[in-house]
A and B are shown apart, each in its own frame.
Chain A
Amino acid sequence: MATRASPRVRSPAPAAQRAKLAGVAGAGREEARFERLVYERVRLGMMSALAVREELTFSELKALFAVSDGNLSAHARKLEEAGYVTCTKSFEGRRPKSIYRLTVIGRAALNRYLDHVEAVIRATRPG
């Protein structure tokens, strides 16, 4: 009689590692909201860049991430709507100038997200 092949399963992670992962998986609602927003890399990049620079102009952000005007505007608007960045519009001569800054809420959300990502790495690291 032929024996039935057992289904292939991936070897489960060690119990201790699974427990650690379960601990970091339960991210709060704010983290989940932030994670959804920065799933698009340009938005995460904009937040990270604004974390080290007090302010960045639209042109500087455009040069940093090599995106089109329309694309960058859309990403910036999403971050503004979430309250993570502010935009101040002014004129330099006749040229409009938009300056972006990270808000206190945005900085806190980025820090929490960094803590979360680091915790995931720690939890999945063997030993």
Chain B
Amino acid sequence: MPRSNTVTIDAHAAATLRYIRASMERAGSVAVPGFAGVVMGLIGLGAAVAASMTTLRAHALLVWLAAAPVAALGGAIVMARQFALQGSVWGAPVRKLLLCLLPSLFAGAIITAVHWQAGNLHAIPGTWLLLYGCALICASAPTARIVAVLGALFVLLGLATLLLPDRWHNLALAAGFGGLHLTFGVLIARERHGNQS
């Protein structure tokens, strides 16, 4: 018996609603380029190597502090290039992404200054990882669920780092800002490529 290609009215209506919802979600979200994560990860690994060198080991936190704006700038340039290709560098979803990221990063900067002032350097790496993870979880709202997973891993790593002795801190920062960025950058890039093909 030949198969019928008939589509019921309700199935067509449901498919139409799904399509409308998907279009709205796509329009309101930001496609974060995986390459930005790769760039930030490589800078993170570079900082870890520099901070572990004998001459710089005593100033490891300063090395990481210097690497942070470089990595942020590298990631921002890659993202801005992609957004420009899509037509708007400063669109509403990009503004929403920044609004999600910035409060936790600002809190991280203030808490770092307070810890530094109090000489409580032990708590700084864990705080960085923890609050960066919070920023990423928040940023997953206008981006993708995979960003929330990355954020959750940063949070877990941050909590663990707060409990670890100082000698493990450089490794923890390397695992987070280097390894996690790099791994998830590749995963996001692969996923995006898969969706496009």
The answer to the question of B107 belonging to the interface, with a C-beta cut-off of 8 Å to chain A, is no
Cβ-defined contact, A59 with B86, below 8 A: yes
**Contact of A117 with B by CB under 8 A:** yes
Residues from chain A with a CB closer than 8 A to the CB of B27 are 48-50, 52-53, 56, 64
* A56 CA to B109 CA, complexed, in Å: 35
Q: Which of A26-34, A73-81, A83-91, A118-126 contacts B (4 or more CB under 8 A)?
A: A118-126
Within B1-48, the residues touching A (CB, 8 Å) are: 8-10, 13-14, 16-17, 19-21, 23-24, 26-28
The closest CB in chain B to the CB of A51 belongs to B24
Bound complex: CA A62 to CA B21 (Å): 18
Q: Give the residues in chain B near A60, CB-CB below 8 Å.
A: 86-88, 91
CA–CA, A120 and B85, complex, Å? 40
* B92 part of interface (Cβ distance < 8 Å): yes
Q: Which of B9, B17, B26 contacts A21 (CB 8 A)?
A: B9
Q: Are A48 and B20 in contact (CB under 8 A)?
A: yes
* A interface bracket (residues with beta carbon within 8 Å of B): 20 to 34
| Count of B interface residues, CB-CB < 8 Å | 22
Check if A63 is an interface residue, CB within 8 A of chain B.
yes
The distance in angstroms between the C-alpha atoms of A44 and B13, with both chains bound, is 13
- Give complex CA distance A57, B87 in Å: 6
Residues from chain A with a CB closer than 8 A to the CB of B14 are 121
Q: Specify which chain A residues have a CB less than 8 angstroms from the CB of B10 in the assembled complex.
A: 120-121, 124-125
Cβ-defined contact, B16 with A117, below 8 A: yes
B74 to chain A, nearest CB (A): 23
Nearest Cβ distance between residue A55 and chain B, in whole angstroms?
Answer: 9
A21 proximity list for chain B (CB < 8 A): 9
Q: Smallest Cβ distance from B95 to chain A, in angstroms? A: 12
In the assembled complex, the Cα of A63 lies from the Cα of B13 at a distance in Å of 26
CA distance A7 to B86 in the complex (A): 57
Most buried by A among B8, B14, B26: B26
Q: Choose from B8, B21, B23, B92 the contact partner of A54 (Cβ within 8 Å).
A: B92
Whose C-beta in chain B lies nearest to the C-beta of A62? Answer: B87
Residues of A close to B8: CB separation below 8 A: 124
Residues of B with Cβ closer than 8 Å to A? Answer: 8-10, 13-14, 16-17, 19-21, 23-24, 26-28, 85-88, 91-92, 196
Q: A residues touching B (Cβ–Cβ < 8 Å)?
A: 21, 41, 44-46, 48-54, 56-60, 62-64, 66, 114, 117-118, 120-121, 124-125
